[in-house]
Structure 1
Amino acid sequence: MDVALLTVGDEVLAGDTVNTNASWLAAELAARGATVPRILTVPDDRGVIAEWVARFRADYDAVVVTGGIGGTPDDVTLEAVAEGLDREYVVFPDVREGLVAKAEAFREENPDLAESYEFDLDFDAAARLPEGARPLVTDAGWAAGCAVDGVYVFPGIPDEMKAAFALVADEFDGDTVSETLYTPTPEGAMGDTLAEVRERFDTEVGSYPAGRGTPNRLKVVGDDPDEVARTVAWLEDNVETVPEPE
């Protein structure tokens, strides 16, 4: 299962926010056997988001979009997804009802804040999703994400994103398996060995240099667990390995 990740946010592109969502999602998807061939960050621009949703949906099995949903003017992701999938952008009555209940509960639990601030919430706008979508509603945050036509839209706030992903995690799977080895051997000294292992086995072997004093990583990835095991065994016979650092 090939999954493209699309993260949305001017603040990510400006360097104001670290894109931890993409790395967390990539790791979670890989752990389920899925492959992430593309990760792209785009601005809070409806046309740009719609364009990439449409392109990724045509090229990959699924698309995960994070960021840009909520109640502020720059939260255009859900409308852009609807545009990219050529769907109407409509109010979901059940989602609206849930948002009203959340607002009422907040007022009751925070009377001082409710008196200090004027709550002028546009529930219709906040309850809009692409037509035919499956709402992804959690207690972790305000805005609802959704799943529609192989596109999964999550909030950008990490805790809210993780809660939304938990609702659909079982829908991402694949046959990819991986094993990681650690070696003190410099990457430059392993060129011939890495070339040979790629010729011998039907696997992908990535070499990832680490900082000074930290072992480098060799990651073996493939669709056949036995082939991955054979690759690992060959590497252990031909490259010095050490235990995983704590």
Structure 2
Amino acid sequence: MNVAIVTVGDELLAGQTTNTNATWLSERLTERGVSVERVTTVPDRIGDIARVVNEYRAEYDAVIVTGGLGPTHDDVTMEGVAAALGRSLEEHADALAWLEADGYSRADLTAGTADLPAGARPLHNETGVAPGAVLEGVYVLPGVPSEMRAMFESVADEFSGTQTYRAVVVADEPESALLDRVATVRERFEITVGSYPGESVRLALEGTDEETVSEAEAWLRERVEQPSGDR
């Protein structure tokens, strides 16, 4: 299963808010064996949301959109998703019933709070007000981290894939000097290798067979110079 994550918000693009939602979702999806292939941030503009969601839903098994839910002037995510799917926005009876059960009367709710794309499956917001929605492989979640996490957990079982295993070897050598050994370990073992330079170089080995990853890790450790603390 492959997934794209779309985070919505002008404040994310301006650096005023750290995009913790994308990191958390990527971690949780990876744990479930799902391949996260895109993480994109778009502004609070209907056209941008609609364009990206429409493009990604054609390419990936699912698209998770987070942020911009609610009835205020800059909460336009539902409208953008509805435009991408060619749907109108309609007040959803189940979403409205959940809100009333949580203690919100119709008089308390701002117009549009329970509006979802026509035909969508509503997702109950257990820790907030704005409901989420699922339609045609597009999952729309709130931007408030606590609300997003609780809502994702309610649909987490709908995301699954092949379990992957990971090991990291730290090398105290220039990245360019490791190219031959990286190429060899990839040829000998059915794994992928990511190289992340810094004070040392972190070589991340990943594969679908735990024993193969372990064998590749052992093979590589014997053939690189490791920082003194890692020996």
User: Which residues in structure 2 correspond to 1:128-207 (within 5 Å)?
Assistant: 128-188=115-175, 189-207=177-195
Q: What does residue 6 of structure 2 align with? A: 6
Instruction: Give, as a single letter, the amino acid of the residue that structure 2 aligns with 1:199.
Output: E
Q: What does residue 234 of structure 1 align with? A: 219
- Structure 2 unaligned residues grouped into runs of 5+: none
User: SS state of the match for residue 4, structure 2?
Assistant: strand
User: Which residues in structure 2 correspond to 1:32-47 (within 5 Å)?
Assistant: 32-47=32-47
Give the deviation of 1:184 after TM superposition: 4.5
CA distance in 2, matches of 1:238, 1:147: 49
Give the deviation of 1:152 after TM superposition: 0.9
CA distance in 1, matches of 2:94, 2:186: 53
Instruction: Indicate if the aligned counterparts of 1:181 and 1:241 stay in contact, CA closer than 8 A.
Output: no
Q: Does 1:21 align with 2:21?
A: yes
- Structure 1 unaligned residues grouped into runs of 5+: 106-118
**TM norm structure 2:** 0.88
Bigger mean CA offset, 130-139 vs 177-186: 177-186
Kindly tell me the number of residue pairs found equivalent between the two proteins: 228
Give the deviation of 1:138 after TM superposition: 2.7
Say which structure is richer in helix.
1
Give the deviation of 1:230 after TM superposition: 3.6
CA distance in 1, matches of 2:163, 2:101: 43
- Identity %, equivalent residues: 48
User: Which residues in structure 2 correspond to 1:105-120 (within 5 Å)?
Assistant: none
Instruction: Give, as a single letter, the amino acid of the residue that structure 1 aligns with 2:143.
Output: G
Instruction: Indicate if the aligned counterparts of 1:198 and 1:205 stay in contact, CA closer than 8 A.
Output: yes
Instruction: Indicate if the aligned counterparts of 1:33 and 1:177 stay in contact, CA closer than 8 A.
Output: yes
CA distance in 2, matches of 1:23, 1:179: 18
Instruction: Indicate if the aligned counterparts of 2:171 and 2:203 stay in contact, CA closer than 8 A.
Output: no
Instruction: Indicate if the aligned counterparts of 2:167 and 2:214 stay in contact, CA closer than 8 A.
Output: no
1:201-226 deviation per Cα after TM superposition (whole angstroms, max 9, x unaligned): 3321112234x4xx643222233444
Instruction: Give, as a single letter, the amino acid of the residue that structure 1 aligns with 2:182.
Output: L
